[in-house]
């Protein structure tokens, strides 16, 4: 997911100065050894808004209680000192603050997806020389948090490493068959373009290790005041055709492997604004087609939680 200045959807800057996760202080400066990671409950991960940084901003437990959302996507895992996964390229896994946050969410009946990558920073796929090394880095993240799902947000300079990423995911899927593997990709109004367009075919050629293909239908920068509902649906239908051609599955099967990772409020493009009504329209679309994932960037931007309340209605 694009790493941006975290703005409240109404346009005001949100200053993130610390965090409390379920009543537990989560300072990044904490030096106390992490607590044991709580086992995840069996809860739907279909609606899981991104939160960046992985600690700070809104208290996820308070968000759960006020919106009904049950899962969050914690961002981002980057490389530190070579092929070593870390929080934002600086905090060694698992991280005291991050463990406290995950435990607070799980103790209150929720769960997390962890996202690897993003728009900037040192990417694991670039830092890890071989697919096996990259798989080892992914496995460390899964093990550290007993994950049921891992999101690979493939952007910027990492798209060129797509085959290495897919080969690593194939290893992960073999060793962790129950872990859902999500690939999140940038998109144009007609589907995947550029280097991203070849990725479904690459996946098919090695046995399709990706479980969910999620798109980021925003930052189109086409000028004017675009209809973000229509553009999102168009991009999703474009992806649908591409996946169907590559994976040779039925419409129902393909939709069940698709996801939408939108953005709440104003995007990085002048005039481009994803409204709460757009989210309500998207909810109807994902419910109609039973998509695997409906989420957005980013929780701390959602000042009054109106966007979160919409996606919380989706159960998959």
Task: Please check whether residue 27 lies inside any domain of the structure.
Answer: yes
pLDDT in tens, 101-130: 999 999 999 999 999 999 999 999 999 999
- Which of 86, 94, 43, 37 is closest to 68 using CA atoms? 43
Q: Domain range for residue 26? A: 20-311
Catalytic residues: 155
Task: With respect to residue 81, please indicate whether it lies within any of the assigned structural domains.
Answer: yes
Residue 200 lies in a domain: yes
Does residue 2 lie in a domain region? no
Collect all residues with Cβ–Cβ distance below 8 Å to 229 and sequence separation of at least 6. 277, 278, 281, 282
DSSP tally for the chain: helices H, then strands E? 10, 14
> Quick one: DSSP state of residue 85?
E
Number of separate domains in the chain: 1
Residue of 168, 172, 164 whose CA lies nearest to 143: 172
Q: What's the CATH code of the domain at 148?
A: 3.20.20.80
In a domain? residue 117? yes
User: What does pLDDT average to over the chain?
Assistant: 91
Report if residue 12 sits inside a domain.
no
Considering the domain boundaries, does residue 139 fall inside one?
yes
What does the pLDDT look like over 189-240, one tens digit per residue? 999 999 999 999 999 999 999 999 999 999 999 999 999 999 999 999 999 9
Contacts of 298 (CB under 8 A, 6+ apart): 1, 4, 6, 49, 50, 51, 52, 263, 264
Instruction: Using the Cα atoms of residue 234, residue 239, residue 242 and residue 243 in order, give the sign of their dihedral.
Output: negative
Residue 63 has pLDDT above 70, yes or no: yes
Domain contains 1: no
pLDDT at 28 over 80: no
Distance, first Cα to last Cα, the chain: 21
**Which tokens is 68 given?**
């009904």
In the three-class reduction of DSSP (H, G, I as helix; E, B as strand; rest coil), residue 10 is classed as coil
The model carries a pTM of 0.91
């Amino acid at each position: 997911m694009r790493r941006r200045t975290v703005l409240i959807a109404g346009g005001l800057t949100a200053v993130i100065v610390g965090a409390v996760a379920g009543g537990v202080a989560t300072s990044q400066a904490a030096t106390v050894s992490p607590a044991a990671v709580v086992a995840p409950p069996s809860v739907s991960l279909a609606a899981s808004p991104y939160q960046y940084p992985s600690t700070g901003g809104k208290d996820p437990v308070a968000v759960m209680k006020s919106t009904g959302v049950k899962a969050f996507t914690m961002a981002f895992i980057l490389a530190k000192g070579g092929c070593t996964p870390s929080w934002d390229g600086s905090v060694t896994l698992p991280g005291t603050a991050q463990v406290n946050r995950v435990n607070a969410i799980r103790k209150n009946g929720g769960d997390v997806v962890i996202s690897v990558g993003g728009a900037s920073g040192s990417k694991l796929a670039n830092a890890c020389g071989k697919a096996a090394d990259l798989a080892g880095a992914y496995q460390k993240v899964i093990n550290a948090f007993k994950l049921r799902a891992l999101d690979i947000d493939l952007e910027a300079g990492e798209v060129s490493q797509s085959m290495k990423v897919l080969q690593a995911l194939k290893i992960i899927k073999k060793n962790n068959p129950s872990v859902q593997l999500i690939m999140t990709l940038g998109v144009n109004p007609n589907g995947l373009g550029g280097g991203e367009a070849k990725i479904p075919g690459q996946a098919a050629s090695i046995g399709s290790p990706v479980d969910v293909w999620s798109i980021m239908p925003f930052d189109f920068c086409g000028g004017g005041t675009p209809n973000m509902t229509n553009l999102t649906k168009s991009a999703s239908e474009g992806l649908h055709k591409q996946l169907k051609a590559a994976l040779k599955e039925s419409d129902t099967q393909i939709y069940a492997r698709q996801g939408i990772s939108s953005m709440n409020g104003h995007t990085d493009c002048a005039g481009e604004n994803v409204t709460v009504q757009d989210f309500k329209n998207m909810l109807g679309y994902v419910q109609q087609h039973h998509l695997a994932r409906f989420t957005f960037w980013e929780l701390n931007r959602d000042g009054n939680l109106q966007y979160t309340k919409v996606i919380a209605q989706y159960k998959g």
